[in-house]
Structure 1
């Protein structure tokens, strides 16, 4: 590697130590990947996918066999009754919005049971912004149950808050916070607790960053709906855009009416030339996710060796692809992201700077030299410039190239005199 990239010998030495520390974690990750690759392959075989399914349609897209079969394959892989997988979802937030508006009605109550949702959902719900067509504008009530100081769900408070509520919202990943991401086992406990006191409440999981990190998905343990983006885990680094909603068949039907229009639902919507990439992305996803989780573990080990606080630590059980790194000040944060950019296959020559990114209430710096713009299954690092000046690192299509990006991030901080002094 040193013949291609200039890495300080001290960082190289720490990298070797870090990789040795991750050996057991890597073995666990490989076991999960093997299970999920077999699960996805079986879904392809059971649904008799052929070359004909890879061909797209135009116009209204009636009888698009590839689109409809992909929904079935995806549902089976996710342990769900049904799914909507569409390239027309512009982001995970868009897919979440369609699902929320699909199942909620005026007078209903939504309860966020894992504290504040991800920043970009705040205006969707109506926590921020006025008169922009939010859930609040449509008369949907919002309540929130904060996590305990330990980062664990407050089960007694959740059981009280969801009584009579239409929907309980769970965010699986840590978002821009330092709480632990939720395991599927923990989500299962929450589902059982919610259904015990309010059987009709829809358990809705923002599954972004979590797909295929574990052997089970939230729908395997009773969640009614899960939602995510195809330029994160589930698209395998191949899907160029899109998102999915998976879960109970009756709820998927309601979401389909919001996706298009009442009376049309999922029957229309051409796939253009996207079917092949969506199928391939799903097929590759378990392997690509495993690489991303390995990059995350390695980064945690290396940055711990450099004296930074990381969440989770390298040997902790993983349930998403994200590692949060508390760097402590804006200068380290900017230097770190600029180093990640240097290790990107696209736009490695670009120098990222903080900017006012839509949907966020603080300036954000983002390193993302990706084949698909904004694809966080590819190596990226970002965070808002506010206390505690942390970056959230995710992705890496291959382990070795992701590792180089992490080393260049450390090298960037070293060259600015910010570490190893």
Structure 2
């Protein structure tokens, strides 16, 4: 009886990975960049339509095309150079301080957007859609602003109390939504929208009371926040950049740790991915839902300290501006990650700061900046559209192609073996 010849062990097949270019083409980061580029293209068309010289030269385009294309190039160069001078660096300024002031304005404007965007990102990662950032910012402004002008405390303590008051106000307003969602199943979208209106009317009412505006005053503007409760400036001179920007960066680091390194953050993400599976795994989903909205509201309340304690130093009905709604765009563009939210907040801060200079220098309507922001949201919300425009592969398509090739190869091998048998 012959001995069986030992067979050499098969080398384990290593799982294939897509190439570097393929990974870049399928990445979410590229999608964000292309969404911004696509929005800039649309914005460029609107800038051209609004320019008188471009429209005039378009009337005799075929007679003298050089005039038209020269007007197009000049219009776009002036508009976007003005946007850069207003949001990054003004090389035409008369002094060094004025040259660097635009970047500090960008950081100042982006501070509340980053903080509120982080609040939205936490909710999005947990599967909740917080549309109540506006109301949570207003409640944070009410509580933090009141602590700032009504109480007389030492410097550092006064600022800390005012900041904690703003966090508490936002957390309370977000917590109402979370508890309703957890206990009754009420849609957080509906409840947050309604609480936005409640907060706006509450602010309007409080600014008619003597407690907030002072006795004998009819102007709907609160008493000024005490100097001891204001954020100190980071740079002396004609700059508005304050400590709130450092607070925003610290908040981003905290949110990263919360979502990526803490047990409660894991429960947030698990609930957002599959609430039923999270419940089966022993996670208290109603408790997590309420806690998510409390954290989200707290961050939005913290965002109110940027205007109230940092730049404006008093309360008005428009103290929140459109920060609560812009923050949703920031979180979406940042893919609900802390790093992405910070970068998206800086981008929107630059657009806002530079839009004013663009309007003053070229006469371009500042509303075009709002259109740019809206178009970014549109392209971010429609990844298949962006992938179709730029002919990009869908995420994971290389895996499906690999499976198809292996299945076809197996079928051919099986057919050959059957013929040999």
Q: With structure 1 as the length reference, what TM-score do the two structures score? A: 0.27
Question: Which of the two has greater strand per residue?
Answer: 1
Max radius of gyration: which structure? Answer: 2
Question: Which of the two has greater helix per residue?
Answer: 2
